[in-house]
Homo-oligomer: A and B are copies of this chain.
Amino acid sequence: MSWPYKDLLGTRELSKEEILLILHTAESFKEISRRDIKKVPTLRGKTIITAFYEPSTRTRVSFEIAAKRLSADTISISGTTSSAVKGETLKDTGKNLESMRPDVIVIRHSMPGAPHILAKALASSIINGGDGAHEHPTQALLDLFTIREKKGGLDGLKVAIVGDIAHSRVARSNIFAMKKFDMDVTCCGPPTMIPPFLEDLGVNVEYKLDKALADKDVIMMLRIQKERGGVSVIPSVKEYAMLYSLKEEHLQKANNGVIIMHPGPMNRGIEISDAVADGPYSVILDQVENGVAVRMAILFLLLGGES
């Protein structure tokens, strides 16, 4: 089976089969990063541009490592050194990059829809590396990969997503993806962090942490998105931590074998306690490791690879 699209812009428009294609492909790539020689020639002679117009370590590094382990060449552009300062439009920047014949452009941008503008304007494959509070599909796909790896499957699992849902592209991309697998998703946070569109997505809303966690197989904690105004909608970070920080005692409410996820970076003591972050149920670092495999799979599939 091969990938039917030019781009990867979001999870909303993906089918269950397309998501499974990525997860399945990622499985075979995961062990490459555990080898002594972590490199295969699959994408030799391909050019991957990462254009990150918002600060990022994890995602950019993950994409670069994924590309390099497939032997692709990578070129990195960041916001502060870009020609954005010279008044060029995003579309023109994209058209210019495309003229240098990259195979894939990974873009992170504070403006929702930025990757979609590029995807429409360009023949190159575009990967959405996070666009404002809109989507972050590769994060959701690595999350699903991790859940499937740990729980043996996805269908019908019960998930709580806790925190700053309103400002979180990670939550949105996960919700879109999880609903394809009939997962039972409950979002939890203070009312000002719960966006109105959740009900339309078939998501439960619960304002009390204890109740939200009851009978869950997966708990996904989110940080407050300070850079997108998250702090301004709560009375205080201290109060937030008191009400919504995940502590060990909470885990008794959840199902046996519950897994704790976090897309990082974590703010310890605010949304998650040390005991939980470093505890036996945490799969937070598995998420990061799986991110490389999932991004290798996505690069591979977008460039015409078949699973």
B-binding residues in A (CB < 8 A)? 33-39, 44-47, 49, 52, 55-58, 61-62, 64-65, 68-69, 73, 75-78, 80-89, 92-93, 95-102, 223, 226-227, 264-268, 285-286, 288-289, 291-292
Contact = CB atoms under 8 A, between A and B. Distances in A.
A84 B291 CA distance: 20
Contacts of A292: 100-101
A114 to B, nearest CB: 15
A47 to B, nearest CB: 6
Given A64-B75, A81-B80, A285 B93 contact: no
A116 B244 CA distance: 33
A100 B291 contact: yes
Nearest to A60: B81
A180 to B, nearest CB: 27
A264 B96 CA distance: 9
A75 B81 contact: no
A290 to B, nearest CB: 9
A35 B45 contact: yes
A285 B45 contact: no
A36 B101 CA distance: 10
22 contacts: A38-B101, A47-B69, A55-B81, A55-B85, A56-B81, A57-B77, A57-B81, A57-B96, A58-B83, A61-B75, A86-B223, A86-B227, A87-B267, A88-B264, A88-B266, A92-B264, A96-B285, A98-B285, A99-B286, A99-B289, A100-B291, A101-B289
